Chain A
C-alpha cells in the first residue's frame, strides 16, 4: 500500500517541477500530509527545521489562463489573510517563506506529534466514543445517562468554532472555506491546564487554508452569512450525529462573541443566515 502510494505520488509530481527540486533539497524527509483540493501539503525541511510546504500545481483540466490567474490570486490571498487573521489574535501557522513562482508557501508545522489534528478528525473520534459509550451502557444494562465527558467536549468545540468565526468576521475577514478540515485543534496539556483553568479552555485552535479568503465589503452581512452556511453544511454532511449539538453551541457563541460595540451585527448575520438557508430549501424546484 505504502509503496504504490509513493510511486503514484512520484508520478503526479511530474506536474509540479518545483516539487522535484524540493524533494532533492529535502532529501527523503519530505512526507505527504494531504492531497487537498487544490494543492498538496507536505512536510519538508527548511533551514534545518521541519515545516509544511503547501503548493498548488497547475490543474490540467482548467483553461491555462484561468488556472494561472486563480493560483496566483489564491496564493497571495492565503498569505495576506493569514497575516491579517493573526493580527486579530487568531492563531495561524507562521509563514516562513513564499515561493510565488512555484505557488508554494512554507509555514509552521502544526505537528501531530504535539497533539495537533484537524477538528474533523477529533469529531470523528468523538462520534466513535459516543457510539462505544452507548453500546457499553447497553451491555451493562444501564440507563443512558449523562455521558458528560464527550458531550461537554463537543459543546466546547462548537462554542470555540463559533467564537473563532465571530472574531474573524468582526475583523472583516471571510474565510471562504470554513470546514472542520480547515481548523486545527489540540487538547491543552492537562498537567499545565489543571485546576485554575475555567471551562471552555480545554482546547486550543488554529485556522488554516485561507486560499479562498477575502476582506469583506463594508456591508458584508450576506458574505458572512454564506460563510457560516458553508460551515454549517460541512458539519451536517460530515458529522451528522453531532451536528445538532455542535450547531447550537456554535450559533450561540457566534452571536455573543462579537465585540460589544458591534453586538447587533452578530445577530443580524444570524438572521441573514436564516434567509440563506431558506433559499437553500426552496432551491430544489425543477428536477
Chain B
C-alpha cells in the first residue's frame, strides 16, 4: 500500500502527469477548474447566481442558472488550459453537501461529459475540497481548519485519515446569519451580502452589545440574529442612535470574535499552532486580521486565501478529486449520485498519513 502510494505521487518521466477537471455547483456558484497532479492550476472559472435585492437564492432558479452555464464554463476552462477533453484523466464533481437541485445540475453535467469522452468520475465532498485547496494554495501542512461559509461553520482537525469536526454551529451557519441580516437591512446581494456588510462595517464605529454565545467549541447565532433584527426595527423607527453601519460593525466584531475563540479552543485542545481559514466568509479581511492576531499571541501562523479559492470554485473539486483518484481510484459509475447531507468526517482521507 505504502509503495503504491509513493509511485502514484511520483510519475516516471514517460508517464505524463494526470489532469483533473472539476465541476462545483452545490450553492449559488457554478465553477469549472482544471488542475494538474503537481498542484498547478490550469483554469478556474465560475459564474455566480445573484438573487434580486431582499431575497435569497432559491433551488430552482439556481439550478437553472447552473444548467445554463455549465457547458460554456467547461469549454472556457479547456480553452484557458489549452487542453482538449482527451488530455484529461478524470472528471470530478461535488457529491455534497449542498442544495439538491443545483448539486444535481452540476452532477449531470459531469456525468454527461465523462460518458461522452470515456473518462472516469470522482464524487467529491465539498468541504474536503475547500480544505485540500486551502492546504495546496497556502502550503499549510497540518492546520486546524476554520470552515466558514453560507451553509457551514465548522472547526476541523485532521487525525488518522479523517478530518474530525471539533466544533460547529448548533443552529444556523455564519454565512446564513450574515446573509439574513443583510436582507433585513436591505444591503445588496451583489457581489455578495457578506462583502457589502464588510464594506459598511468599515464606516461603523459604535459598538452595540449583542449576544455572544460560545458553548465549548460550538457557537450559536440565532439569538444574535434576532437581537440585531430588533435593533434594525428600532433603527427604522428612529428610536436608536445606532446606524446601519454601526450594526454591521458590531455584528462582525461579535460573530468573528466567537469564531476566532472557538478556533483557539480547538487549537488548545489538540495542541496545534497553525490555522487555515476556508469557505466564502473566510475572504473577509477583518476575520483574517483577527485570526492573525490570535495566532500571533500563540506563536503560530494563520493561512488564508483570497476570493478565487475561498469562494466555491471548480479547481478545489478537481484537486480533492484528483487526490482521491490517485490514492483510492474512481467512484464506480453507479455511485456517482449526489446528496444534500455529507459530513466532512465521513470521508476516508486516503491521501494523507
Contacts and interface: CB of A to CB of B under 8 A. Distances in A.
A284 B127 CA distance: 10
Interface string A261-287: 000000000000000100111111111
* Binding site secondary structure of chain B: mixed
B26 interface: yes
Contacts of B257: 59, 61-63, 66-67
A56 to B, nearest CB: 12
Interface in A173-206: 176-179, 181
Interface string B292-310: 0110111100000000000
Contacts of B343: 281, 284
Interface residues of B, number: 61
A2 B98 CA distance: 47
A234 interface: yes
A284 B216 contact: no
A282 B299 CA distance: 37
Given A236-B164, A280-B168, A286 B297 contact: no
B151 A230 contact: no
Given A61-B257, A61-B260, A61-B290, A286 B217 contact: no
Given A61-B260, A176-B216, A229 B170 contact: yes
Contacts of A178: 216
B212 interface: yes
Nearest to A177: B216
A8 B299 contact: yes
A61 B293 contact: yes
A60 B298 CA distance: 12
B126 interface: yes
A37 interface: yes
B340 interface: yes
Contacts of B291: 61
Given A8-B299, A230-B215, A287-B151, A280 B97 contact: no
B193 to A, nearest CB: 14
B272 interface: no
A22 interface: no
B268 A36 contact: yes
A219 interface: no
A231 B157 CA distance: 17
Contacts of B126: 287
Contacts of A230: 215-218
B164 A37 contact: no
Contacts of B171: 279
Interface string A74-95: 0000000000000000000000
Contacts of B216: 176-179, 212, 230-231, 233-234
A218 B162 CA distance: 40
Contacts of B26: 286-287
Nearest to B94: A287
A285 B218 CA distance: 18
B269 A212 contact: no
7 contacts: A61-B260, A179-B269, A181-B268, A236-B164, A238-B166, A279-B171, A280-B168
